Amino acid sequence: MIDRLHDREPLRVDLASQPTRGHWLRYQPSGTRVWLKRDDHTGSELMGNKVRKLEYLLAEAQDQRATHILTCGGEQSNHARATALAAARLGMASVLLLRTDDPAHPPAPTGNILLDRLAGAELVWISRPQWRERNRLLAEQAERIRAAGGRPYIVPEGGSNALGSWGYIRAMRELADDLAGIASPASPVTVVYACGSGGTGAGLILGAKLFGLAARGIRVAGVNVCDDRAYFLDAIGAICHDAEARWQLDTRVTPDDIDIVDGHVGLGYAKSRPEALATIRDVCRSDGVVLDPVYTGKAFHGVVTELGRDPGRFGSAVAFLHTGGMFGLFASPETIAQVL
Ligand SMILES: Cc1ncc(COP(=O)(O)O)c(C=O)c1O
């Protein structure tokens, strides 16, 4: 267990099972070896990448003696579910603003929504046009809670801000240990992650720079599952620069540090193509590892596609970060059933 990560490290509350383990996959796309970092094992109900960010965000909330945690996401948001459960674990209430097609007819309580409800979260359904106003709507909900005598704390979309990024600075420290003996300057390895709102990427990139990992042959690349490369150069750059300013980190992240592997969004966010679903099936059959269709499966299929074009794209091996997401699979079983 790593205790103090860095002399500027902010307060942290223990929520995740860490360090997570890793292992090689039998599945080798285009003959490239893939090592899997099991961040889907950060917990059971709290599984995935979000809990690492919440360790820092909810520590700040506790420090401010918050009574309610507010956040937002898509209807099957893994982040919203993890926030609701982590808040409950720490004795706080949660309010989730969830985006859906028709707020007057919210979706059935399946997958993550079922867990949100089980954790007692208050669900506020918002439309796609309202989503553009999410920060204002979160502020309004916070005002409502304050007026009723509570103390709200707002966690931004995906937990992706400078404070949340410490979760993946910390994970990068683990990866440095994990990959010692696997990566070297002569035999570089790329840590590949699914990029959805940029916080995981920002933390990994800051961590790689803080711990000097490029010199040890460790690179970082994100496969975006929504938006595009230009969007994430901005989003990740902004989070890194906020963190650098807030904690005086001498990392000086530039766009050259942000490798976004674009072209794998397919039909759109949370929409799957049969070939990506087939990759999820094949990995499960060869290794007993379950990827999710929205994030990890789409990103992993991106890796497979890139390696098909250029087997050297990621160096001598890929260290794929499994960021969780399995509950989403149970929200629309008919999707994955297409390839079974
Ligand atoms: C399972 C899973 N993987 C990856 C991501 C992407 O992480 P980030 O939002 O930090 O880019 C998310 C969150 O949106 C997620 O739920």
pLDDT digits (tens, 9 = 90+) for 35-47: 999 999 999 999 9
Q: Picking from 68-72, 207-211, 317-321, 335-339, which range would have the lowest pLDDT averaged per residue?
A: 335-339
Average of pLDDT values for 219-243?
98
Closest-lying ligand 1 atom to the alpha carbon of residue 292: 1
Which residue, judged by its Cα, is nearest atom 16 of ligand 1?
78
For the entire predicted model, the pTM comes to 0.97
Contact 235, 157 (CB under 8 A): no
Say if residue 119's pLDDT is above 80.
yes
CATH class name, domain 22-48+160-337: alpha beta
- Which pLDDT score, from 0 to 100, does residue 241 have? 98
d(CA 74, CA 228): 18
Question: Alpha carbon 134 to chain centroid distance?
Answer: 19
CB of 272 shorter than 6 A to ligand 1: no
Question: Rounded to 10 degrees, what is the CA torsion of 184, 283, 50, 101?
Answer: 140
- CA-closest candidate to residue 66, choices 159, 163, 151: 151
Task: Count other C-beta atoms under 10 Å from residue 244's C-beta.
Answer: 17
Between the alpha carbon of residue 37 and those of residues 80, 170, 177, 225, the distances in Å are 23, 14, 12, 19
CB of 199 shorter than 6 A to ligand 1: yes
Place 163 in a pLDDT band, splitting at 50, 70 and 90. Answer: very high
Question: The tokens of 249 are what?
Answer: 């980190």
- Which pLDDT score, from 0 to 100, does residue 1 have? 43
CB of 42 shorter than 6 A to ligand 1: no
Which of the residues are catalytic? 77
Ligand 1 center to residue 165 CA distance, Å? 12
- Which pLDDT score, from 0 to 100, does residue 224 have? 98
Mean pLDDT, the chain, rounded, equals 97
What sign has the CA pseudo-torsion 331, 270, 23, 281?
positive
Average of pLDDT values for 236-261?
98
d(CA 332, CA 330): 6
Closest-lying ligand 1 atom to the alpha carbon of residue 157: 9
Domain covering 50-158 assigned CATH 3.40.50.1100 in the classification: yes
Q: Picking from 2-11, 48-57, 67-76, 114-123, which range would have the lowest pLDDT averaged per residue?
A: 2-11
Closest-lying ligand 1 atom to the alpha carbon of residue 202: 10
Ligand 1 center to residue 186 CA distance, Å? 31
What are the residue ranges of CATH 3.40.50.1100 in the chain? 22-48+160-337, 50-158
- Which pLDDT score, from 0 to 100, does residue 142 have? 98
- Which pLDDT score, from 0 to 100, does residue 5 have? 86
CB of 152 shorter than 6 A to ligand 1: no
pLDDT tens for 128-139 read: 999 999 999 999
Closest-lying ligand 1 atom to the alpha carbon of residue 164: 10
Total count of residues recorded for the chain: 340
Percent of the chain residues topping a pLDDT of 90: 98
Residue whose CB lies within 8 A of the most ligand 1 atoms, among 200, 234, 300, for a mutation test: 200
What is the residue type of 148? A
Question: The tokens of 147 are what?
Answer: 């007026």
CB of 160 shorter than 6 A to ligand 1: yes
